[in-house]
Amino acid sequence: MEYQYPIDVDWTQEEMVDVISFFNAIESYYESSVERETLIERYRAFKKVVPGKADEKNIFSEFKASSGYDSYLVMKKAKNETEQKTLHNR
């Protein structure tokens, strides 16, 4: 797929990597599967870069608009399905 990641030019290189890594985990969920713990760890790193809920919502919306992948729904599933080690898009 060809789309842009929602990146803020004010972020450091490391912060950009953390955000892209999180979105890579979201992509993995939709394209095959993702380890729940990996997703949670990457989300925690993402939240250090984007701590505010409003900013998170805007970035998730941007990503969904360009990729079609809903980060909010994936994270909701990860938080609710605590018994699952691997999350699948089914």
3-state secondary structure of 44: helix
Q: Which helix (H) or strand (E) holds 86?
A: strand 86-88
All structural domains of the chain: 13-83 (1.10.220.80)
Which of 72, 75, 64 lies closest to 6 in space, CA to CA? Answer: 64
Between the alpha carbon of residue 75 and those of residues 12, 48, 71, the distances in Å are 24, 16, 6
Stated pTM of the model: 0.94
The per-residue pLDDT for 1 is: 60
The per-residue pLDDT for 2 is: 79
Residue type, 90: R
pLDDT in tens, the chain (90 residues): 678 899 999 999 999 999 999 999 999 999 999 999 999 999 999 999 999 999 999 999 999 999 999 999 999 999 999 898 999 887
Cβ 70 vs Cβ 64: under 8 Å: yes
The per-residue pLDDT for 3 is: 83
Count of beta carbons in the 10 Å neighbourhood of residue 10 = 6
How does DSSP classify residue 34? E
